[in-house]
Amino acid sequence: MSSIFNLLLKDFLILKKVLWFPFIYAFGMSVAFSDTYAGALSASTIGVSYMLMIQACARDEKNKSELMLNSLPIRRRDIVLAKYLSIIPYTIIGMLAYLLTQGIIYITGIPITLSNLSLEVITGVYVTIIGMISIYFPIYFKLGYLRSNIVATVLFLGGFFLTIALLRDGLGGVYNPLNQDALSGVGNWLQTQGDWQIASYLIVIMLITLATSFFLSLRFYAKREF
C-alpha cells in the first residue's frame, strides 16, 4: 500500500509546476462554453482531470520514469493500480477548479450562468472519465505514451461531448437511433427509471468495465520489455 501511495505522490511531485494551470483552464473553458448547457462543467472537470493524467504520463515518458521504477523492487501491479487511482484526485481538482470559477463569476458579477454540481453531475462526470481511462490505459500500458497519444485526444473530445449529452438530456434521456425493437424496449424501460437508478446501473457497468480494463493493462504491462 505504501508503494502505491508513493507512486501517487510521485505523480503529484512531477506535476507540481503545472498544478496552478487547471484553475486558469477551468475559468477559460467556463467562459468559452458558457452558452452550451453543461459545456463549461464538462470542459472544466473532465478537461482538467484528463489533462493532469496525460501530463503525468507524458512526464513519465520524458523522464524515463518507467525504466527507473522497473529497476526498483516495485510490483508492476502497483504501478498500474496507482495510475488508475490517480484519476480520483485529478477529478477532485477539476471539480474544485470549477467551483472556484463559479465563485469568482458570482463575486465579480460576470454575466455568465454555470450549472451547479449535483449527484447527477458528479456521476455523469465519473462515468465518462472511467469510460475514457478504461479505453486509454490498456493502450498506454501496451504501447507507451507516444504511440497512445492520438487515442487520448480522440477520447477527450468524445468524452467531452458525451458528458454534455448526458447532463443535457438527463441520465434517463435514452433514445435509440437504430430503431431496433430490442434496443427500443431497453430505451423505453430506462426512461421509466429515476436518475438515481440509472446512475446505479451506470456505476455497476463502469466498475465492471474498469476492472476488466485494469486486468488488461496489467497483462500488457507485465509483458513489456524495458
pLDDT tens digits for range 84-96: 999 989 988 888 8
Count: domains in the chain: 1
Residue 173's pLDDT is 46
Using 50 as the pLDDT threshold, list the residues of the chain that sit under it. 171-183
pTM: 0.78
Residue 216's pLDDT is 94
Residue 39's pLDDT is 65
Domain that residue 181 falls in: 2-223
Residue 114's pLDDT is 73
DSSP string, the chain: -HHHHHHHHHHHHHHGGGTTHHHHHHHHHHHHTTTSTTHHHHHHHHHHHHHHHHHHHHHHHHTTHHHHHTTSS--HHHHHHHHHHTHHHHHHHHHHHHHHHHHHHHHHT-S---PPP-HHHHHHHHHHHHHHHHHHHHHHHHH-HHHHHHHHHHHHHHHHHHHHHHHHH-TT----TT--HHHHHHHHHHHTS-HHHHHHHHHHHHHHHHHHHHHHHHHHHHH---
Residue 1's pLDDT is 65
